[in-house]
Structure formats: structure tokens, C-alpha cells
Copies of this chain bind each other. A is one copy, B any other.
Amino acid sequence: MSGDSFSGIVRIEAGDGPGQPERTSELDALYRSFEQELLVPLWTEIGDLMPTSPRSEALPHVWRWNEILPLAERAGDLVPVGRGGERRAIALANPGLGGRPYATSTLWAAIQYLCPGEVAPEHRHTQNAFRFVLEGEGVWTVVNGDPVAMRRGDLLLTPGWQWHGHHNIATRPMAWLDGLDIPFVHATDSAFFEFGPDQVSSTRTPDRSRSERIWAHPGLRAVSQLADTPSSPIAAYRWEHTDAALRDQLDLEREGHPGVVEPGHAAVRYINPTTGGDVMPTIRAEFHRLRDGALTAARREVGSSVWQVFEGRGRATVGDREWTVETGDVFVVPSWQPLTVGAETALDLFRFSDTPIFERLHQARVHEDGVPR
């Protein structure tokens, strides 16, 4: 092999710890030969490569809605939306991940901003995506030709390889949270992308999408739609359903019946009705509601998650960081960092995570208050 062209790529540093060979000139020569042949010893790398428990480079961090929203508004003035840039989306860059636009090692989170009359052109990609709406309305996302209204509290899906574009028919701008599995797909080299029309394929603005009219009836499935799909066929999970389900859980708790996750803590998971499982193969989405004063058990999980406060105020503790969080604030929980949330008012939180990846690959672990599961 002509190793020359690769010289300088591999750099081996002799170590000193237990199990390391004695530093001799022969060893040095061997390491130089390794470098030449693009070889790296396990024994110098094992500590970083194979830690005793996950040591994510991502850090716990919070982004404040009242700091990022004004910047998105300013981008609304300065940055056009259209083909090429595709979206006026501004990603949260985890401070531990070297400036890459990654909220965690696997997840992307961004604030997207669309002004009145603007159109974000249609495209599709293998990355799974969703939007969660903190406030506002007036934008329709068109998913495979089906116009989907976006309103406060809604979760909107655009699973992998579905055409989608957005347009704002209102008189005010609208901002929302985008979530995707971009870092995961990038790390695994599995991204495909295709451009669609510059305009959205339907300008109709119905209250309910066709997907909801087929699929969002509890316990029912259209006989014309019996083939299961890897991702949910429901394009919009409406706030009124989420809110009602959470209220029911807290009412049941009050009446002494099962329903909540733990005292004062209601939670729903958004699901794919064709399977009862997660909405998309790589992304779990949930909504949590805490009574005023409730405190969640400390919980560690393999995999990372992103939380957005939907309403209320509380204390979030992630590893050795702790913050007061309020409406709109977004914080991230890297893999295996313990999380506790305490409510200082009634507190509503949206959450998404990469857990389905680990469950499907049998790498999931949960540890709660000293009880591994």
C-alpha cells in the first residue's frame, strides 16, 4: 500500500495507565508503523471509546424563548425563505458538540419562522421531522398534498420521505419548534433529499387535514387503510385531544384510580395508530403535565431528549445543571444524565427523544431513583 498519501491522519499517543506497554523506541517505531498503515491500537483508546456508562459530549443546556424568538424575528427581516436555503430555521447548537447545529448527539431542534405571505418550498428527505407549536396560527403545512393547519399546542408530523412545504396565510408571522433526527442520520450516512415544487401543492386551508379525517377517530381504523406504516399517518395531533387526555389522567388520580405516571404527573405519548408504537422510527414525542408543586423522580435514560416548556414555570435539573424554566424555554438532556422536573405552577411540557432507536436495537436502559429497569 502506498500509505504516503494518508500520512498524518492517524496520530497515536503512547499512554501511561494500567495495561499500557512500556515506552521504548521499539514501541515508538511500532506506533509510527501503525500510523503509516492507518491502524490504531485499542489499548490507547479504550477509555474514551468504551466508557463504563454513556459520557456524551453534549452538555445539558437551556435556550430561552425570549432570547431566541427576537433573533428569529430579526432573521425574518434579513433572510429570505426559498429554494436553496429551504427554511428559515435556526438550530440550537449544543455547547459540547463543537458548534455543529445539533441539540444533542442525535437530535436537531430549531426555531422556524415564517412571515405573512411566505412560502417554504416543498421538498422531502429521509430525515424524520415534526413541528410543535408554542403559539400562533395561520400557517398550513402541506404533507403529500394534504394541507395541515398549524395551531397552538399541535404536533405536526412530516415523517421521512414525505413531501412537505409551508405557507403563511395570516397577517402575522408565526414561529414554531422543528424537531428532526438530522444528527443521527448524518452520523449513519443515511440521508437522501429531493427538491419539490417551489410553491405548495395545495393552497386550501381546511381546519382538519384529510389525514385526521381518516385517522384521528379513537379506536377506529378505516377499512380502506389496513396496511401498517412505519410512521404515523396522522399529520396533526391536536391540542384539544392532548389537553383532554392529560386532564382525564389527573382527574383519575384525584378519584383514586390509575392513570398518571407518578403523583401529580400526567403524560401522553403520541403514537402511530397502525401499530400503537412511536410516531416515527427514530423519534418519540410526548407531552407532560405536572400539578403545581409536583416533582418527578430522577430518571436517567440511554439516549437524549429535548424539552420545551409549553406553559407554566418550573425547575429543571439535568446532571449538575439546574434552571428555572418558563414558557417557550427549550432544554436538552444528554444520554444518561439524570433529569428531575419540579413544577412551580401548573406546568405543561412537550418532549421529544431518540429512544425508539435504542428500543429497536435493544440498547435501551432506564434508571429511576436507584432502580434500574
Contacts and interface: CB of A to CB of B under 8 A. Distances in A.
Interface of A: 1, 6, 9-11, 17-22, 24, 26-27, 30, 33-34, 37-43, 45-46, 49-56, 58, 61-64, 67-68, 71, 74-75, 77-80, 82-95, 98-101, 105-106, 110, 125-127, 160, 182, 184-194, 210, 213-224, 226, 228, 230-232, 234, 237, 241-242, 244-245, 248-249, 251-252, 257-261, 267-276, 281-282, 286, 288, 302-304, 334-336, 354, 356-358, 360-363, 365
Contacts of A216: 218-219
A9 B217 contact: no
B274 A50 contact: no
Contacts of A127: 50
A268 B220 CA distance: 6
Across the A-B interface, give the 8 residue pairs with the lowest CB-CB distance, nearest first.
A19-B84, A43-B85, A19-B85, A18-B84, A189-B335, A40-B101, A223-B267, A217-B245
B221 A276 contact: yes
A99 B12 CA distance: 9
Contact of A80 (B19, B160, B248): B19
A258 B225 CA distance: 9
A24 to B, nearest CB: 7
A360 to B, nearest CB: 4
Contact of A40 (B80, B99, B210, B220): B99
A95 B9 contact: yes
A233 to B, nearest CB: 10
Question: At the interface, is chain A mostly helix, strand, loop or mixed?
Answer: loop
A62 B2 CA distance: 11
Contact of A37 (B49, B71, B187): B71
Nearest to A80: B21
B42 A90 contact: yes
B83 A33 contact: no
Nearest to A268: B220
Given A160-B363, A217-B241, A43 B276 contact: no
A91 B259 contact: no
Nearest to A50: B193
B79 A191 contact: no
Contacts of A193: 50-53
A69 B74 CA distance: 60
A214 B248 contact: yes
A46 B127 CA distance: 12
A32 to B, nearest CB: 11
